[in-house]
Structure formats: structure tokens, C-alpha cells
Structure 1
Amino acid sequence: MNRTSPIDSASSVDPAGTPAGIATAPFFVRGALVEGQDVRHTSRDLGADFTTPALDLDQVVTPRSELPPLLGVKVSEIIDFLVETGHALAFDRNPHMRACLELLAATNPLPRRVVENLYRTAPELLSRASLESMVTSNFGGPQALDGWVTRTDRRGNRGHLRAFPPRMVHMLAGNAPAGCIASIAQGALVKAINLFKMPSSDPFTTVAVLRTMAELDPAHPVVRSMSAVYWQGGDETIESTLYRPQFFDRIVAWGGGPAIMNVIKYLGPGIQLISFDPKSSISLVGREAFASPETVAEVAERVAEDTTVYNQEACLASRFVFIEGERAQVEGFCAELADRLAVDRTFASAQAPPPAADLRDEVEVMVTMGELAMWGGFDGRGLVVLSDQPVDFHPANKTSNVVIVPSLRDALAHVTVATQTVGVYPWDRKTELRDALASAGAQRVCRVGTANMHVPGGPHDAMFALQRFVHWMGDDDIER
């Protein structure tokens, strides 16, 4: 294996110090912090520079001759440690998370206040109830994770089964800085050997969480099972070396279409892709919303809540609203929605980055031609466009496309396998629509206004991921 990733001399940094104003992102490798300013990178979203150590590929690969550190550790003990980690991540007491908040101001497009709220709430992912629900919903209990489970057929032959720890590369998403906490928890619960590839918009948080774990117990098998590093996505020299079945079983990819397509070329026998690929979400609003002005205002507020999650960077953020009603009624709803988009929320800011210039030009042309009606503006406070058919562009930066339909069932024609979350109003119409939504490819249905809330233990992107992470090993004991 090539021991160290090549360093372009144009991106090298004087080892004597980091240039003023450039952040340094350390690595965490199998329980140890690795510091250095050997390589200079640029974040994708904001174009900010940061430095990292050189990547030694031998350090981040655990030979298959070594059993996973967590193999003999009970799930209950892993959960105990993760719960303790959650307590230690309390923002006001954790210097690593507070330092990350300042560093992310340069690399991540989310406002500082929103990132802080994420840091304050994300440790809830490590609550005992949440962790235990994941194990129960995915495996029915910890038995197959903790050892060999035996079943006997009608002939008396015995089959033994174990959910064996996998070796995984996690390509982390950059749109939710605290999302790495969920990935760390998942990797620990399946007792995996984990390599986290951090995103350029957040090359800091994952290491901060792992450092917190190491301060609790540097020798803990969970800590020794975790590595977090950064390289520029698409670096063929690194990825063609790492993405091999002799090193890893699974690539767990959170990312945009190009990132997913880049990984696919490395797949083959022995290495699988588990993809949380790009999704889009919608709202379905029945004519019941127009029962009174108060109901219109309430539904508009709920749709705005769903639209603005992470300033519409999240896959579960609503982008299209299919609504039953008369034109005049719907126009009133659009005006209400535009007002509610321009509100500070826990996970959204009153003013986000403005829509791209090409989207603005397209909307203005369509409004001039009478194809769209528009409320709000292009300043990042929120834009609502009303049309008879969904627009061809991808609504972003707090943009909502409202589409009038004769019936919510007519909206099903626009639901695909890329539709993640569908918010419905009124609530009782979820039952009427959910089978048809699933058949069309949608993956989750909820009440409008609750897209960013979850019942613990549910599927994500139409799968129970932990079941797919593990290496299912069978031992057939057949008497002849």
C-alpha cells in the first residue's frame, strides 16, 4: 500500500506554522490524535482554506488478521459508553465542540447560531432510549450482535448465525455538522471498524466527538475502532487504494450525486455501497387547510417549518407543496408562506444565502411570461413561486414551489424513488395516501410540520441500515 498520500507542492504549508487565518483540522486514527499542517485544502461551499496532516494510509487500515476491537464487547456496554459520551458532549462543558463552532464559521454555510443549536441538541442521539431502539428495530435485540444465535430445523439440524462486525468507510455529509454523531453511534452499535471521511464543509466535528470519547477512556474498544480523516473527494490515488475488499466491506455514502457516482466505480465483489443519496421532500396540503384564516396561517407556518430545515439544505426539507384549492385561496396561502419563511428558527435563519443568479434569472423570466406567480424575493428571506406544474429547477435557499392540484392523488404522479419525506395535512389523509406513496417510491410520510422529528428506531431512506452494515455469517451444522 502507498503509505502516504501525495502532497502537491502548491498546496504544502510551511511546517513551522499555519498561515494566519487558516484553520487546522487534525485527524483521529484508531484512538490517537494526529496533528499537522502538511496539506492545504479548500472547502467546497465557502472556498475557505484549511490544513490537515498528511494522510498515512497504512495507519487507517486495520489488517484483516486483527479481529475487530469491539467483537467481544456486549452491546449493553457499548450503549453505556455512548450514553456517557452524550453527557460529555454537553456544549457548555465541552471545549472541543465550542472550538469547532468557531472554526465552522469559515467552512460551513449554516449560520453560527444554527450550528450551535445542532451541537446542543445532537447529543440526544446518544440517549439510551434512542440507541436501544436502533438495536431493537434492526435486529430484534442484541443477541446476534453479541454472539452466535442457534436455530434448529425440523430434522434436528442446527444453524448458527452472527451479525459480525464490518469494516466500513463512512463518507459523511456536510449539510448537518452534528450528523457525524449518528454515524459514530451506528458504527459502534454494529461493532464495526470505522473510517470516517470528513466533508470539506466540516473537517472538525467528527474529531471533536472522538477526542471527547478518548478523554473518557483512551483504551476503550469503541475509541480504538474509530478513525476520522480528510482527503479531497475524488482523489483517485487515495480512493483506488482504500476502496478495496481486502480493507473494507462497506462504503456508507452520504452525499450528492457526483460523490455517489464516484464511489460506484470502485464497487465489486466483496465491497458494497450503502447509499444515502440525494433526496427531495414535498408537502401535500388538502383543501381542509382553508377551513378558516386561522387554519391557513397554521398550515403555512407548518409548511415553513418543514421547508427551512438547515435553510433547506436537508433532504427532508420540503421543496414542493401540492395543494388543493381555488386559485384565490392558494394565492393567499402563498403570501402567508412567504412571510413565515422569513423567520428565525432553531435550525434555520431568517435570512439564508440568496438563491443562485441563474435561478433568479429563470424565475424572473417565467414570472414575466405569466408562467409563475411570485411572493417574497431573492434576498434569502424566502421565495414562493406558484405554478400549475412543478418547476424544472431545484428549489433551494428557502424557495418553495406551490402547485395547485385537483386532488392530492394527482400529486402522486410527481413522487419518485428520490422523494424522501412527504408531509401531509390534514393528518387523517396520511392513511389514505401512504400505500400509494410507497408504491411510487416515497420513503416516509409524516404530519406537515414534523419533517425534522422522528420516532426512534424507524427506517431511513427505506431501509434499516444497521442490518445492511453487518457481515451476516452463517454456520450450518447438518447431521447426515
Structure 2
Amino acid sequence: MTLADAHSPSAAPGVSAPFVLRGRLREGRDVTHRSRDLGVVFTTPSIDLDGAVHPRGEVPPLLDVPLAEIIDFLVETGERIRDPHNPFVRDCVDRMAATHVLPRTVLESQLRGAAGYLDGRLLRTVVEENFPDPRALDQWVPKEDFTGRRSFVRAFAPRLIHVLPGNSPGVAVKSIAQGALVKAVNLFKMSSSDPFTTVAILRTMAEIDPDHPVVTSMSAVYWRGGDEAVERVLYRPQYFDKIVAWGGGDAITNVIKYLGPGFQLVSFDPKTSISMVGREAFTSGATLERAAELAAGDVMVLNQEACVASRFLYIEADRADADRFCERLYAHIAARAAASGDARPLDMELREQVETLSLLDDDFRVWGRTDGTGVVIRSDEPVDFHPINKIADVVRVDSLDDAVRGVNVATQTVGFYPFERMADYRDRLASCGAQRIVRLGEAGPSTIGNPHDAMYPLHRFVHWMAHEDGAR
């Protein structure tokens, strides 16, 4: 069966998640799983491990396809994902709404919005920023050093396993595009929260051309993370070059044990983002309101499910001014939460921790309720739990210099206000391990082609190969 067949979901009870193996759809209800967040039952086919591996002796399907043609194909895919009548996207959202914590409207918006990554100018910029000479993706590029020694260098098509996260369907779109741009053989391990989006995109591609090398270079399957019966077979250098892993600490730790010579990890590991708000926010009522509105925007990126979403906000203020800021921050978070339609109550443990803080002395103060409509905590030290589900911890400091001490290698994005002081802090933030500083309110958008998690990912994905041809 090809990916373009069978537009309708299975009539059998429960949620089924089909696979794709080297461009062909595989359906079945052989194995039963539970989704990570909601514990919803879904079924999948059994994994054909042989079918998931592209033999080393076969040249990758995309190797000799011009990059320009690949980009054109991705652009057409993006147009079809945005089509409201796309049956694969509609089917995907129907199924994912049963397994994912985010509401259907949010998921639908994210998926179609993520298709914006499949833009020709954007994709070309990403390639140009990742590769000093993009010709290396299409050909053996001749070089000669100052001694007269000649060589050829190529960014050779790698064999990649992508361990996808479940917090955003947009990562599937981006990962498929990146895998295609580097002409990789790709195996996508889907998340139990979203074992659907990757397949929906590949089915959309197959409807354009089921035999296109982009399609035949892609596989997408699900297995429970840590299942050694699968991972002991697939996580080997005989079959793959690198694992591109997104996910929590447990997921990354699980992958690390399989690494060795010839089998590497490119990790988008767990990150926490923060905000730093200077005393200038209190210059006037208008500046306070603006700073609180911008900060709420950073807290609520993907309803605080994204790594770039702010969780700890360091504010340069006395306690009275900090409370004024918290009051306005809570108002903006609550308004955004109401507009999102996502009102999941906090889980029991997190709810108890927040409610305990509200009973303590003046060292803590809490705005909001634990019903999923937003919470702001004011504290003098960061809380000892991970704020999520629309929780912001506002940490009062006498100087933003004190906030720098809370930055480490797990700090991804720092939203900063006032903008004029950013340059004064960027070197210190980088020295502590932070990877990105932006204007407060701009944690979500990113400059096209910039490093991600302190690296140029595509440059690391490829297998750099040198052919040396001696001296003249």
C-alpha cells in the first residue's frame, strides 16, 4: 500500500497510528501502547526492523537529487499542508486530539503554522547559514591548500535516527525538511503524544509523488523509548551514523548508552528559558504594562510547552514593585490562557506545591489558581520545581547581575528588558552557558538560519568526506 492510499482512518475502535517504511504506508493494530501525558490507548503495526533500515551498500536515494529540486518539493508540500481540505492533516488532528494534552484548535493551528517553515527563501537561507559552501551538498567541491595539495570535499548524505518530542507537531515538519535538505536516509521515532504528524506529512508528500526520493528516504515508526528489543538492533553504526534526539532527560540518557565510535548524538536536550527585566520597567505605568505584556507573551509560547517559553522571570525591583509587576503579568497570562481554550488543571503534585507556597509567609506570594487559568509566583529564590502549564515564577533581585548566577548550560533563551542593556549582558550570559538572548516578548520567533542550541544543526548532521588527490 502506498502512502497516498486509504484516506480514511480505520473503523476499528481506538486510535490507530500507522507507520511509514521507506516511503510506504504500513497499517495494523498489532501492538497496544499508552500515550505519555493522557494515558490514552493507541495501536500500531509491529515494527519490521529490516524494512526500517536502508542498507549501507545502497547509495542514499537523495544523493544525486539537486538541492534546488528538493526545496521545490518541500515548498509544494508546505502548500498542501496548509490546504484546509488536506485529508491527511485532518485525519492527523482527529487522532492526535485524543492523545495530546493540547486542545484540538491549538494543534491544528500549530501544524498549519509549522508549514511556514517549508518556504523556499527560508530553506535556502537555512542551508546558506549552515554551510559556508552549499555546493558541497550537491557535488564534490574541489579545494587546494597553500602547499598545492589538491582535494575534494563533500557533505555526504547521512543516515539519521530522529527521536522526536511530543510537545509540538512543528518539530516533525522541521525535522523532515532538515533531513531532506542534507539528503539523509531518515528514520523518525515518533512520540507517544504525537505518533501521527510525521506520517501525515509523509502521506501528503506521497500524494505529490509516491516515488520521489524525498519520500523513499523517509521512515516513521513508534516504539516505547527504552525498548531494548528495538533499540539494540537499530542503534548501531552498521545502520545509522547519528541520532538526532529531542526530549527530556530520561530520553537523552537512554540514547547515550548506545553511543560509540561511528555512532554519534546530536542532542536538542531539555532546556529552560528565562526572562530578565530591569528596573526601567517601573519608569511609568505604561512601561510597566508593556513589560508585563511582553513577558506574558514569552511565558505563553505554545501555552508554555516550548523550550523557549519563559519559566523564571528575574526582576530588578523591591518587593512592592515586584508585586505590581506580578499583578499585571498575571492579568496578561490569564487573558492569553482564556483565549487559547486550554484550561488543563495542574497535576496533583504541582498543584500541592503551588498551594503550599500560597500558605507561607511573605517570602512568597501567589496570583491565580491551580485550575489551568494561569499562576504567577513571586519569590526571592527560584522555586524548586519546574514551572509548566502557564506558571511563571517571578524572582526578585536587587540587580540583574544577581540573575546571571541562575544561568547555566541548560538555559536556552533569555528574554531581556530594557533592550538597550542586552549588549552589557550577552558575554556573561554566554559564559554561563546561555544559548540565545532576545528582546523580551520575542522568545518565539527566531532569526532564520541562526544557531539552535548553540550549534548549526545541519552542518553537524552530514557525513563530511574528503577525497585527497595529492600535490600538483
Looking at structure 2, the residues matched to 318 and 253 of structure 1 have their Cα atoms a distance apart, in angstroms, of: 22
In structure 1, the residue matched to 2:351 is 360
Deviations 1:57-82 (A, max 9, x none): 00010110000001111111111111
Looking at structure 2, the residues matched to 345 and 147 of structure 1 have their Cα atoms a distance apart, in angstroms, of: 50
In structure 2, the residue matched to 1:380 is 372
In structure 1, the residue matched to 2:7 is none
In structure 1, the residue matched to 2:211 is 219
In structure 2, the residue matched to 1:181 is 173
Instruction: Give the drift of 1:304.
Output: 0.9
Matched, 1:343 2:338: no
Say which SS state the counterpart of residue 362 (structure 1) adopts.
helix
Cα 1:105–1:416, aligned 2, differ >3 Å: closer, same or farther?
Answer: same
Looking at structure 2, the residues matched to 321 and 287 of structure 1 have their Cα atoms a distance apart, in angstroms, of: 13
Identity fraction in percent: 57
Looking at structure 2, the residues matched to 372 and 357 of structure 1 have their Cα atoms a distance apart, in angstroms, of: 20
Corresponding letter in the other structure for 2:178: Q
Say which SS state the counterpart of residue 313 (structure 2) adopts.
strand
Residue of 238, 244, 258 corresponding to 1:246:
238
Structure 2 stretches lacking a partner, 5+ long:
1-9
In structure 2, the residue matched to 1:258 is 250
Looking at structure 2, the residues matched to 399 and 157 of structure 1 have their Cα atoms a distance apart, in angstroms, of: 59
Residue of 93, 97, 102 corresponding to 2:89:
97
In structure 2, the residue matched to 1:415 is 407
Looking at structure 2, the residues matched to 411 and 435 of structure 1 have their Cα atoms a distance apart, in angstroms, of: 14
The 5-angstrom pairing of residues 125-140 of structure 1 reads 125-140=117-132
Matched, 1:196 2:188: yes
Corresponding letter in the other structure for 2:447: V
Instruction: Give the drift of 1:341.
Output: 1.0
In structure 2, the residue matched to 1:476 is 468
Matched, 1:52 2:41: no
Looking at structure 1, the residues matched to 234 and 329 of structure 2 have their Cα atoms a distance apart, in angstroms, of: 47
Corresponding letter in the other structure for 2:348: A
Corresponding letter in the other structure for 1:51: T
Instruction: Give the drift of 1:41.
Output: 1.0
Instruction: Give the drift of 1:141.
Output: 4.1
Looking at structure 2, the residues matched to 19 and 29 of structure 1 have their Cα atoms a distance apart, in angstroms, of: 22
Matched, 1:64 2:52: no
Task: Tell me if the contact between 2:300 and 2:336 (Cα under 8 Å) persists in the aligned partners.
Answer: no
Looking at structure 2, the residues matched to 179 and 101 of structure 1 have their Cα atoms a distance apart, in angstroms, of: 15
In structure 1, the residue matched to 2:280 is 288
Residue of 248, 267, 273 corresponding to 2:265:
273
Deviations 1:322-351 (A, max 9, x none): 0112221110110111111112479x7254
Looking at structure 1, the residues matched to 220 and 59 of structure 2 have their Cα atoms a distance apart, in angstroms, of: 20
Looking at structure 2, the residues matched to 429 and 147 of structure 1 have their Cα atoms a distance apart, in angstroms, of: 45
Looking at structure 1, the residues matched to 442 and 296 of structure 2 have their Cα atoms a distance apart, in angstroms, of: 11
Say which SS state the counterpart of residue 89 (structure 1) adopts.
helix
Instruction: Give the drift of 1:409.
Output: 1.7
Corresponding letter in the other structure for 2:17: A
In structure 1, the residue matched to 2:74 is 82
Instruction: Give the drift of 1:88.
Output: 1.2
Instruction: Give the drift of 1:352.
Output: 3.2
Looking at structure 2, the residues matched to 155 and 264 of structure 1 have their Cα atoms a distance apart, in angstroms, of: 41
Deviations 1:222-247 (A, max 9, x none): 11100111111111000000000000
Looking at structure 1, the residues matched to 290 and 90 of structure 2 have their Cα atoms a distance apart, in angstroms, of: 36
Looking at structure 2, the residues matched to 369 and 380 of structure 1 have their Cα atoms a distance apart, in angstroms, of: 22
Task: Tell me if the contact between 1:135 and 1:141 (Cα under 8 Å) persists in the aligned partners.
Answer: no
Residue of 314, 319, 325 corresponding to 1:333:
325
Looking at structure 1, the residues matched to 435 and 318 of structure 2 have their Cα atoms a distance apart, in angstroms, of: 30
Matched, 1:73 2:30: no
Residue of 22, 27, 31 corresponding to 2:23:
31
Looking at structure 1, the residues matched to 16 and 53 of structure 2 have their Cα atoms a distance apart, in angstroms, of: 23
Looking at structure 2, the residues matched to 207 and 123 of structure 1 have their Cα atoms a distance apart, in angstroms, of: 14
Corresponding letter in the other structure for 1:299: A
Looking at structure 2, the residues matched to 149 and 384 of structure 1 have their Cα atoms a distance apart, in angstroms, of: 55
The 5-angstrom pairing of residues 378-457 of structure 1 reads 378-457=370-449
In structure 2, the residue matched to 1:10 is none
In structure 1, the residue matched to 2:452 is 460
In structure 2, the residue matched to 1:6 is none
Say which SS state the counterpart of residue 274 (structure 1) adopts.
strand
Looking at structure 2, the residues matched to 34 and 360 of structure 1 have their Cα atoms a distance apart, in angstroms, of: 42
Residue of 166, 177, 193 corresponding to 2:158:
166
Instruction: Give the drift of 1:150.
Output: 1.5
Instruction: Give the drift of 1:428.
Output: 1.4
Pick which of 411-420 and 37-46 moved more: 37-46
Looking at structure 2, the residues matched to 282 and 446 of structure 1 have their Cα atoms a distance apart, in angstroms, of: 11
Say which SS state the counterpart of residue 378 (structure 2) adopts.
strand
Residue of 291, 305, 311 corresponding to 2:303:
311
Corresponding letter in the other structure for 1:438: A
Say which SS state the counterpart of residue 419 (structure 2) adopts.
coil
Corresponding letter in the other structure for 1:237: A
Say which SS state the counterpart of residue 130 (structure 2) adopts.
helix
Instruction: Give the drift of 1:287.
Output: 0.9
Say which SS state the counterpart of residue 140 (structure 1) adopts.
coil
TM-score norm. by structure 1 comes to: 0.94
Instruction: Give the drift of 1:357.
Output: 2.1
Pick which of 84-93 and 420-429 moved more: 84-93
Q: CA RMSD in A?
A: 1.5
Count of aligned positions = 462
Corresponding letter in the other structure for 1:168: L
Say which SS state the counterpart of residue 343 (structure 1) adopts.
helix
Instruction: Give the drift of 1:361.
Output: 2.2
Looking at structure 2, the residues matched to 280 and 352 of structure 1 have their Cα atoms a distance apart, in angstroms, of: 22
TM-score norm. by structure 2 comes to: 0.95
